[in-house]
Amino acid sequence: MARHKGRGWHGRLLAAALGVTAVAAATSVWTAQADTAGGQQPQARVSAPDARSQDRTVAKVAADIAHASDRGARGVNITIDDGPDPVWTPQVLQLLKDSGVKATFCMVGTQAQAYPNLVKAVVADGHRLCNHTVSHDTTMDTKSEAYQSQQILDAERMITKASGGVRPQYYRAPGGAFTPYSRQLAASRGMRPLGWNVDSKDFEHPGVDTMVATVKSEISNGPTVLFHDAGGDRSQTLAALREILPWLKQQGYSFGFPVR
Ligand SMILES: [Zn+2]
């Protein structure tokens, strides 16, 4: 899709979202905020879908980029980006259901608005929602704060309306293009900035065997694994998940959600 033109955006921005250096740098800046937000539980449902009218109902979360799993050291967070998509999201949902796996879906606002029934299906299956901005601009870290705000808050509103009132619990910048401002804004709206540790590189169609091998070799890097359910032919993604999910179980991993 046009928004993914140029194959390098994952790699170019990978360091930011992978987060070792980014988190280290961010920790000192945002520790105070993280401390004040620690332990608060989000409200998963709100009565009105207009994000700007809900400020008093949303619990702030930490603003540093999350990578850990709520299942602890042997937890894995499966994250599925760029949908929902009418062709691929139902197939991913069926595969996850058959596998007994819950995942986190990072949705593009316009996609959520176009396919609200898919957003509701994701929620109904027990998965969590993540805000992936309105238009998936991987250069948004170079844009104005007003633009970043619009991209995040409008997507929050679009996803929450499409879901029937279930809010996104995370914010993942397209291509990892986070800024301190966007992380703080998302956190103030109850959306924990979400990175990844393992990129399956499914977007580049490397072949199923390569994707499986990548995840197997890199899962020791951390628990959060990146896949996609939109943006092109995702048949390799489905085939890879069919191999990877049972393998992870055999290795003693359990499936959870990113920490908030
Ligand atoms: Zn994306």
| pLDDT, tens digit (0-9, with 9 covering 90-100), for 50-61 | 444 455 579 999
Residue 161 placed within a domain: yes
What is the spatial distance between Cα 4 and Cα 2, in angstroms, rounded to a whole number? 5
What local confidence, expressed as pLDDT, does residue 231 receive? Answer: 95
What local confidence, expressed as pLDDT, does residue 18 receive? Answer: 53
What local confidence, expressed as pLDDT, does residue 184 receive? Answer: 98
Find the CATH number of the domain harbouring 234. 3.20.20.370
Long-range CB contacts (within 8 A, 24+) of 251-255? 251/219, 252/74, 253/74, 253/75, 253/76, 253/219, 254/71, 254/74, 254/75, 254/76, 255/71, 255/75, 255/76, 255/77, 255/78, 255/101, 255/102, 255/103
Residue 65 placed within a domain: yes
199 tagged catalytic: no
Question: Percentage of the chain surpassing pLDDT 70?
Answer: 78
Tally of domains in the chain: 1
Handedness of CA 43, 49, 51, 57 (dihedral sign): negative
- Confidence band of 1 (pLDDT split at 50, 70, 90): very low
Residue 8 placed within a domain: no
Q: Residue 157 sits in which domain range?
A: 60-255
- Specify the DSSP element, H or E, that contains 16: helix 14-18
> How many angstroms does the Cα of residue 254 sit away from the middle of ligand 1?
24
Q: Torsions phi, psi of 44, nearest 5?
A: -75, -25
What local confidence, expressed as pLDDT, does residue 209 receive? Answer: 98
Residue 47 placed within a domain: no
Q: Say whether 170 sits in a helix, a strand or coil.
A: strand
What local confidence, expressed as pLDDT, does residue 57 receive? Answer: 76
Residue corresponding to tokens 């194959």 = 7
| Stated pTM of the model | 0.81
Identified catalytic residue from 4, 10, 67, 81: 81
Instruction: Specify whether the CB–CB gap between 63 and 36 falls below 8 A.
Output: no
What is the spatial distance between Cα 120 and Cα 116, in angstroms, rounded to a whole number? 6
> How many angstroms does the Cα of residue 132 sit away from the middle of ligand 1?
7
Retrieve residue 219's tokens.
């899962």
Instruction: Specify whether the CB–CB gap between 113 and 158 falls below 8 A.
Output: yes
> How many angstroms does the Cα of residue 231 sit away from the middle of ligand 1?
9
| pLDDT, tens digit (0-9, with 9 covering 90-100), for 141-191 | 999 999 999 999 999 999 999 999 999 999 999 999 999 999 999 999 999
Instruction: Specify whether the CB–CB gap between 228 and 203 falls below 8 A.
Output: yes
State which amino acid sits at residue 59.
A
Residue corresponding to tokens 């409008």 = 154
Residue 14 placed within a domain: no
DSSP string for 204-235: G---HHHHHHHHHHHGGG-SEEEEESSSS--H
Residue 23 placed within a domain: no
Residue 55 placed within a domain: no
81 tagged catalytic: yes
Q: What is the mean pLDDT of the chain?
A: 85
What local confidence, expressed as pLDDT, does residue 202 receive? Answer: 96
Residue 156 placed within a domain: yes
- Confidence band of 4 (pLDDT split at 50, 70, 90): very low
202-225: average pLDDT: 97
> How many angstroms does the Cα of residue 82 sit away from the middle of ligand 1?
5
Neighbours of 152 (CB within 10 A): 27
> How many angstroms does the Cα of residue 242 sit away from the middle of ligand 1?
21
What local confidence, expressed as pLDDT, does residue 56 receive? Answer: 59
Instruction: Specify whether the CB–CB gap between 204 and 7 falls below 8 A.
Output: yes
| pLDDT, tens digit (0-9, with 9 covering 90-100), for 88-129 | 999 999 999 999 999 999 999 999 999 999 999 999 999 999
| pLDDT, tens digit (0-9, with 9 covering 90-100), for 7-42 | 344 443 444 455 443 443 333 333 333 333 333 444
> How many angstroms does the Cα of residue 174 sit away from the middle of ligand 1?
5
